[in-house]
Amino acid sequence: MVDVLLGLQWGDEGKGKIVDYFASGYDLIARFQGGPNAGHTLYINDKKVVLHQIPSGIFHDHIVNLIGNGVVLDAVTLKKECETVASFGVDYTKNLYISERTNLILPTHRALDKASESLKGNDKIGSTLKGIGPAYMDKTGRNALRVGDILDKNFTTQYIRLRLKHQKLLDSMHFNEDISAWEEEFFEGIEFMRKFKIVNGEYFINEKIRQNKKVLAEGAQGSMLDVDFGTFPFVTSSNTISAGVCTGLGVPPQKIKEVIGVTKAYCTRVGGGPFPTELHDDTGEKLRKIGNEFGATTGRPRRCGWIDLVALNFACMVNGVTQLVMTKADVLDSFEELKVCSAYKVNGREQKEVPYQITKVALDPVYESCKGWNTDISAMKDAKNLPGAMKDYIAHINQYLGVGIKYVSNGPGREQIIRVA
Ligand code: GDP
Ligand code: IMO
Ligand code: MG
């Protein structure tokens, strides 16, 4: 069976920490979409590690980690990340597998991302500039190079052919930066990748399932960044929702069991695009400061606001969420009052659905007020000690969503997590 763990907001919900926490109960952890735009933070021996490409099970000795076909892979990032992981004493050559169908990010994809963003001016997506959009475009455009191709003796010729195609585009976009250093690194990365266990990912994972091994699919980004269901066009270029597991790993839908949705106790977003509950005031600043809300991949300050139950409810629906994990609850420890958005006022009318286009309509969040708990919960271990106001906050969210919060994370540390249901 396969369980899925994914983010329900605009990313950075704390997925990495929660995967690491649950990892010991699984035999295989697989990434099914996204690429180095992801930044998943873990604390190993009290040291912070940010993973971009490697699944968050890598620090557990018995766990197999798979980079699935739905991922876009940057060989340069992978090499650097492997070196980081190795500095913790992990032998990545043992437990890390890559699907031969995984699409490669080329240096020119990064250049195209940069050129495209700068042409968009004020309308830019706020992309991580990792080449994600152009790499997925080459996949659906049927041009891409895949990991399996690096084993082909004609790989360099194939690369040059695609690079020339990209160069024409770059010329038309007036991009004239020298990317030869990127190319040099790229080929070093490719050479490094040739040493990996490159597998036929769909047979590999289905064989594990047949052997009754437990698989966890690790999502990247968040549901509101899904290319179909997110706040288009301010989204990423993959299907971040649970359906992406089937296409991103070759897993049939009947094999998916639990869908674990991760949400912060409030909400953040990094990059451009609509964010109904965003706070531009001191409260937003306080959330950013206490929550240390700065991007794990780009270092950009994250935009902060109250929890948005309308968007969360939508995310629970499209993912088929069966259980919730609420992270960063400790960040709310010193607030007298908390707000939860329970409806949107769209062009003056209240509704509980996410509209088709939230960029172009007049949208105001409708809030309900909850009492803050004003207690330091970061050292708590047992649900029964949690403050009453916090239990009320959780109950309020559970009732609205019709799905229960099962775990609350009360700090970034590996042990800071409480089972509440
Ligand atoms: P991901 O992309 O979903 O894995 O999340 P990120 O790693 O980008 O961002 C989450 C940040 O919050 C990281 O810095 C984590 O160390 C931190 N974090 C995770 N859970 C908690 C929590 O319960 N409390 C606090 N204070 N920080 C947390
Ligand atoms: P994790 O896995 C937060 C955002 C970017 C930008 C938009 C498109 O750490 O939660 P892209 O580079 O994908 O073309 O950027 O999506 N974005 C993320 N925001 N967390 C992420 O990943 C993100 N990955 C992409 O900021 O707004
Ligand atoms: Mg992140």
Residues 306-359: pLDDT tens digits?
A: 999 999 999 999 999 999 999 999 999 999 999 999 999 998 899 999 999 888
pLDDT on residue 404: 97
> How far is 130 from 119, CA to CA, in rounded Å?
16
pLDDT on residue 308: 98
Tell me which fold the domain 2-99+199-260 belongs to: Adenylosuccinate Synthetase; Chain A, domain 1 (3.40.440)
- The residue from 3, 20, 40, 308 that is catalytic is 40
Q: How far is the CA of 3 from the centre of ligand 2 (A)?
A: 23
Ligand 2 touching residue 74 (CB < 6 A): no
pLDDT on residue 358: 85
At position 415, the amino acid (one-letter code) is E
From the CA of 225, which ligand is nearest?
Answer: 2
CATH 1.10.300.10 assigned to domain 103-193? The reply is: yes
The residues near 412 (Cβ < 8 Å, ≥ 6 apart) are 17, 41, 43
**Active site includes 40?**
yes
For 280, phi then psi, to 5°, come to -100, 15
Select from 327, 394, 416 the residue to mutate for testing ligand 1; criterion: most ligand atoms less than 8 Å from CB.
327
CB 224 within 8 A of CB 10: yes
Select from 6, 8, 10, 12 the residue to mutate for testing ligand 1; criterion: most ligand atoms less than 8 Å from CB.
12
CB 242 within 8 A of CB 4: yes
> How far is 357 from 86, CA to CA, in rounded Å?
45
Tell me which fold the domain 264-419 belongs to: Adenylosuccinate Synthetase; Chain A, domain 3 (3.90.170)
* Structural domain spans, the chain: 2-99+199-260, 103-193, 264-419
What's the pTM?
0.97
- CA dist 268 to 214, 222, 229, 292, Å? 31, 11, 18, 11
> How far is 384 from 230, CA to CA, in rounded Å?
37
Ligand 2 touching residue 226 (CB < 6 A): no
> How far is 391 from 332, CA to CA, in rounded Å?
13
pLDDT on residue 360: 82
Q: How far is the CA of 124 from the centre of ligand 2 (A)?
A: 13
The mean of the pLDDT values for the chain is 97
Ligand 1 touching residue 40 (CB < 6 A): yes
Question: Of all atoms in ligand 1, which is nearest to the CA of residue 416?
Answer: 23
Q: State the Cα angle at 398 between 279 and 365, rounded to 5°.
A: 30
Question: Of all atoms in ligand 2, which is nearest to the CA of residue 300?
Answer: 26
Ligand 1 touching residue 17 (CB < 6 A): yes
3-state SS of the chain: helix, strand, coil percent to 5? 35, 25, 40
The residues near 50 (Cβ < 8 Å, ≥ 6 apart) are 16, 39, 40, 41, 42, 296, 297
| Alpha-carbon 114 to chain mean position | 21
CB 120 within 8 A of CB 129: no
Tell me the torsion sign for CA atoms 387, 389, 392, 394.
Answer: negative
pLDDT on residue 158: 98
> How far is 227 from 51, CA to CA, in rounded Å?
22
From the CA of 116, which ligand is nearest?
Answer: 2
From the CA of 416, which ligand is nearest?
Answer: 1
Ligand 2 touching residue 221 (CB < 6 A): yes
Q: Which residues of the chain have pLDDT under 50?
A: none
Atom 21, ligand 1: residue with shortest CA distance: 412
- CA dist 116 to 127, 131, 132, 231, 380, Å? 10, 10, 12, 19, 47
Does residue 233 have a cis peptide bond before it, meaning omega lies within 30 degrees of 0?
yes
The residues near 20 (Cβ < 8 Å, ≥ 6 apart) are 42, 56, 57, 59, 414
Select from 17, 224, 240, 292 the residue to mutate for testing ligand 1; criterion: most ligand atoms less than 8 Å from CB.
17
pLDDT on residue 223: 98
Atom 14, ligand 2: residue with shortest CA distance: 127
> How far is 378 from 343, CA to CA, in rounded Å?
31
pLDDT on residue 298: 86
CB 17 within 8 A of CB 260: no
Nearest to 312 by CA among 418, 220, 219, 400: 400
CB atoms inside a 10 Å sphere around CB 363: 18
Atom 23, ligand 2: residue with shortest CA distance: 221
Tokens of 353: 């659905």
pLDDT on residue 357: 86
**Active site includes 166?**
no
CB atoms inside a 10 Å sphere around CB 286: 15
Ligand 1 touching residue 39 (CB < 6 A): yes
Q: How far is the CA of 41 from the centre of ligand 1 (A)?
A: 6
Question: Of all atoms in ligand 1, which is nearest to the CA of residue 410?
Answer: 23
